[in-house]
Amino acid sequence: MQATDWNKTNLPPLALLWRYGGWWRWLIVALILIGGGVTLRQPALGLGLLVCAAALAWFFRNPSRAVAADPMSVISPVDGVVDDLAITDGSPWIQGEALRIGIFLSVLDVHATRAPIMGTVREVLSTPGTHRNAISPKAGATNQRNEIRLSDSAGRSVILRQIAGAIARRVVFAPQPGDAVQAGAVVGMIRFGSRAELWLPVSTGYVAAVWHGERVRSGISVLARV
C-alpha cells in the first residue's frame, strides 16, 4: 500500500462508512430500500426504518478538521474525554516509564481514528480479549485491542492503542508496518463507544499538554509536546 494513501486528513462525506463500515454499510442500504418500499403502505414503519438508517450513517460521519501540524507535538487520535493521565510502565515496545493518556469515546463522538504524529508505522499488534465496558482505564489491559508503534523522523516512539468495548466489537487500523502516515490522517476507526490510549516514553522528553477531564478533538487537540 502506498504511503500517499495515509496523507489525507479529510475524506469525502461517505468515505469512512465505505472504508471501515463492514457489514453495517449493507445494513444501512437495506434499511433505506425496505423503508422506502413500505413508506406508502405503512408510513410509520417506513419512516422508522429510514430514521434508523440515517442514525447509523450519522455515526460514520467524519467532519473536516484543520489538523494541528507540529513535529514536536502529539495530537489526539480520537474525539472524547481524557479520563486517564498517568506516568506508568507496562506498554509494549517502551522501556521504562511512559506517559499514558486515555480517552473515552461515547456513542455520540466521532469515531474515526487519526494518526497522532507524522511518521512511520513500525509494528501493529492485534490482541484478542474481553468486551467489557471501556469507560474503565483498566479495559486497556484486558479488552480486545490494536497496539500500534509509530516513530517520527527523530526516532521518538509513540504507542497508539485502540480498545474495543461492550458495544464496540471491532477496532480497525488500516496502515501496515512500513507505511508512512501524515499527522491527522484518517487511519481507521473504533465502531461505537470505546476508548483509545497513547503511550509516550518519558525518556524522550514528552510532557502532557491536557488535563484530566478535558474534552479533545481528533486532529486538533494537542495531547503532549516534546
Report pLDDT digits (tens) over 194-218: 889 999 999 888 999 999 999 999 9
194 labelled catalytic: yes
Q: Find which of 38-52, 54-68, 210-224 is predicted with most confidence, using mean pLDDT.
A: 210-224
CA distances from 162 to 42, 52, 130, 134 (A): 42, 27, 14, 11
The three cell numbers of residue 148 are 500500534
In this prediction, residues 180-185 reach a mean pLDDT of: 92
Note the residue count of the chain: 226
Question: Where are the extended beta strands (E) located within 36-118?
Answer: 73-75, 80-88, 98-105, 112-114
CB atoms within 10 A of CB 209: 15
Residue 70, pLDDT > 90, answer no
Q: Which residue has the higher pLDDT, 21 or 109?
A: 109
Q: Is the pTM of this model over 0.95?
A: no
- Residue 4, pLDDT score: 45
H or E segment at 36? helix 23-38
The three cell numbers of residue 74 are 502529539
Q: Where are the alpha helices (DSSP H) in 60-200?
A: 139-142
Phi, psi of 161 (to 5 degrees): -120, 120
Catalytic residue among 76, 91, 157, 194: 194
Helices 23-38, 43-59: crossing angle, 10 deg rounding: 160
Q: What angle do CA 115, 120, 121 make, to 5 degrees?
A: 75
Split at pLDDT 50, 70, 90, the class of 147 is: very high
- Residue 166, pLDDT score: 61
